[in-house]
Amino acid sequence: MENPKFVIHPAKGQYSGQFYFTLQAANGQVLVTSETYVDKHNVKEAIKDTIRCMLDSVSPTNGAPHIFDVYSADIKIDDRTGEN
């Protein structure tokens, strides 16, 4: 089974030239869509912040499952912008 992954997309329309990310479940379903960011550095930082918030949101003492508990060392970022 494939891990959840973040995907960076080029924005379109009035936001052309900017970027946004989605978080996709292992089955490809989009779980989260971000706002737009003016450059790829900022969108990558937003992904890191999102991961930190998600990991911090579940207390290890409450026993709740967390989608990144098992996958935190192998979080994928798929860049679909066609740029470096």
Parse the chain into domains and list their residue ranges.
5-78
Return the pLDDT at 67.
52
pLDDT for 18-66, tens place per residue?
999 999 988 889 999 999 999 999 999 999 888 888 777 665 555 555 5
Return the pLDDT at 22.
96
Return the pLDDT at 71.
45
Confidence class of residue 3 from pLDDT cuts 50, 70 and 90?
confident
Sheet-wide strand order for 19-24: 30-33, 19-24, 5-10, 76-79
Return the pLDDT at 78.
82
Give the pTM: 0.73
Q: How far apart are CA 6 and CA 47, in angstroms?
A: 8
CATH number 3.90.550.10 is the correct assignment for the domain at 5-78: no
Q: How far apart are CA 70 and CA 37, in angstroms?
A: 29
